[in-house]
């Protein structure tokens, strides 16, 4: 399981601006198996790919904004080739399309792209926040509509368990329908106070043991840790999260 723990690089966005290659090398020293790309911060894809190869870090997919899916798909695919990943993830949607009509259009559009790229082995997933629970479509939340586990829906899940909790759901119950339809899951903890804000894995209220257990049985290839805001140095937060995940993995292996 430890070979599936990846760091979502959005957590370290400020550090990447200063020294993207150095951050990757430090994450490898920490013990991370992979990283999830979320923008290149002014560096070239070739330069980052070279450091990934040097360190042996895997790539747990790439977060790609809707505008890049629409206007830069060839460039995105070249980056994916360089980073040796087949997973392209839409990391949310502009507020202007967060309505029934918008979500329906996005599901149709992303399915069209997914089917076009499937022969090349690419997979398209959607990463949620809490706002998808604010819209109901056909009796279900917009998120459940987007990710509906039916044969004619090629849009896969990248569930963020923190945002499910924030939206009032139970993470384990919510992810259950997406067995073998979620190659990557986002792990993020929530503080045990009235703020209900971001916390290092293992320090908050979310129970990750059943999530990891489910993941090992149902096709999770990467457990990706993201902490949108950290209380201090984000590298320290990522180290805490990895340490606690490794301890949990050891406990589950017994």
pLDDT tens-place string over residues 133-177? 999 999 999 999 999 999 999 999 999 999 999 999 999 999 999
Q: How far apart are CA 132 and CA 93, in angstroms?
A: 9
DSSP state for residue 138 in the 8-state scheme: T
170, 145 in Cβ contact below 8 A?
Answer: no
Q: Report the CATH number that the domain containing residue 30 is assigned in CATH.
A: 3.20.20.150
So what's the pLDDT on residue 53?
98
Q: Which domain holds residue 46?
A: 2-253
Average pLDDT over residues 11-24: 98
**Cβ contacts of 106-112, under 8 Å, gap ≥ 24:** 106/66, 106/146, 107/145, 107/146, 107/153, 107/155, 110/69, 110/154, 110/155, 111/152, 111/153, 111/154, 111/155
Helices vs strands, H then E, count in the chain: 10, 12
Domain count, the chain: 1
So what's the pLDDT on residue 120?
97
Average pLDDT over residues 220-231: 98
88, 62 in Cβ contact below 8 A?
Answer: yes
The pTM of this model reads: 0.97
């Amino acid at each position: 399981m430890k070979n599936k723990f990846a760091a979502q690089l959005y957590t370290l966005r400020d550090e990447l601006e200063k020294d993207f290659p150095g951050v990757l090398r430090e994450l490898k020293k920490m013990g991370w198996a992979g990283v999830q790309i979320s923008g290149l911060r002014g560096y070239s894809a070739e330069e980052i790919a070279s450091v990934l190869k040097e360190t042996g870090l895997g790539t747990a997919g790439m977060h790609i904004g809707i505008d890049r899916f629409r206007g830069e798909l060839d460039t995105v695919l070249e980056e994916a080739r360089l980073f040796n990943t087949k997973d392209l993830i839409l990391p949310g949607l502009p507020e202007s399309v967060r309505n029934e009509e918008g979500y329906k259009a996005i599901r149709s559009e992303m399915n069209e792209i997914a089917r076009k790229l499937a022969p090349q082995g690419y997979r398209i997933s959607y990463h949620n926040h809490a706002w998808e629970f604010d819209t109901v479509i056909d009796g279900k939340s917009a998120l459940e509509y987007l990710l509906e586990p039916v044969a004619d829906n090629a849009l896969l899940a990248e569930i963020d368990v923190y945002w499910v909790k924030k939206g009032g759901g139970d993470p384990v119950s919510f992810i259950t329908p997406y067995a073998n339809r979620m190659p990557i899951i986002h792990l993020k903890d929530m503080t045990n106070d009235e703020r209900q804000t971001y916390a290092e894995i293992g320090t908050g209220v979310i129970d990750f043991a059943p999530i990891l257990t489910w993941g090992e049985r149902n096709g999770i290839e990467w457990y990706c840790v993201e902490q949108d805001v950290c209380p201090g140095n984000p590298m320290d937060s990522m180290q805490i999260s990895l340490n606690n995940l490794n301890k949990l993995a050891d406990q589950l292996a017994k």
